[in-house]
Structure 1
Amino acid sequence: MGDAALHIGRKISRIRELRGMKQESLAAELGISQQAVSKIEQSADVEDAALEKIAKVLGVSVEAIKNYSDEAVIYNIQNNYEGSNNHGSNVGHQFNFSPIEKIVQLYDEKIALLERLLQSEKEKVEALKNNRIH
């Protein structure tokens, strides 16, 4: 594969970043320290047992991690977006998820959450105003 191939730790790191997950969160989910996650992400090799747990937390298959490459992601994005009409739907899907769709989904969830928080703050403010008046 040559030097261009990402080692397995780097792949885990990239997928974790695409998931919008911090090392701390991954560590907490796995029940290990953040340093341990950092060490894993610097490793060229990761034991299958550990890899299975990590894959589960990241919501991908072990194969998706092993087959991960930046090219695959870019290829995926281009096919999903530029060519969504003229390509077969399974072109470039070495993945169980499209990173961009996931990012958009996470972003939308974050916005929705912020809007709910804002709404509840507004309601608190209104309640306070009303209490002061009466």
Structure 2
Amino acid sequence: MQMLIGDKIKSIRELKNYTQEYIADQLGITQAGYSKIEKGKTSLSLDKLEQLALILDLPLENIINFESQKYFNHDSNSEKEQVKNDSGLELVKRLYEDKIILLEKLLGHTDRELKIYKQKYGML
């Protein structure tokens, strides 16, 4: 079963741990409007798709060719399918590495804020 572009974008967004609100803000649209894109209720222009590729930090062709079955299904025996899975695993690996970096940045930001509040209230 072929994934629709909205499903692909949603899967990638979730792997990157981005919220719909974040993506919508980056696109300059409402969260409700962005949700309609993921659900396939609103058509996606090439310009918006290119913007999404920049936001998701992926080449446009990776978004278009994204198929979660290729990345998470390990039952394939053919060599050709294994090559596809290997390239897909690289994409998933990159997405998870990006997610780790994002979470580390968030943790650092939280630590700095905590230190500021401790200083402000004399707890340090």
Give the TM interval when normalised to the shorter protein: 0.7 to 0.9
List aligned pairs for 1:10-89, cutoff 5 A: 10-43=7-40, 46-74=44-72
What residue ranges of structure 2 are gaps of 5+ in the alignment? 74-85
After superposition, give the CA deviation of every residue in 1:55-75 in whole Å (9 maximum; x if it has no partner): 112221111101112244447
Whether contact under 8 Å (1:60, 1:96) holds in the other structure is no
Bigger Cα Rg: 1
- Bigger fraction of residues in helix: 2
1:112 aligns with 2:108: yes
Q: Could you say what secondary structure the match of 1:20 adopts?
A: coil
Question: 1:88-107 alignment to 2 at 5 Å?
Answer: 91-92=86-87, 95=91, 98-107=94-103
Secondary structure at the counterpart of residue 58 of structure 2: coil
Answer whether contact 1:23 1:38 (CA < 8 A) is retained. Answer: yes
Asked which structure has the greater RCO (Cα within 8 Å, sep 6+), the reply is 2
Listed one character per residue, the Cα deviations across residues 66-105 of structure 1 (whole Å, up to 9, x for unaligned) are 1112244447xxxxxxxxxxxxxxx425639712111211
Percent sequence identity over aligned pairs: 29
Quote the RMSD (CA, aligned, Å): 2.6
Contact persistence 1:61–1:96 (CA under 8 A): no
Q: TM-score, normalised by structure 2?
A: 0.73
Question: TM-score normalized by structure 1?
Answer: 0.68
Distance 1:97 1:46, change over 3 A: farther
Gaps of at least 5 residues in structure 1 are 76-90, 130-134
- Kept in 1: contact 2:71–2:92 (CA 8 A): no
Give the CA deviation at 1:46: 3.2
What is the distance in 2 between the residues matched to 1:111 and 1:25?
18
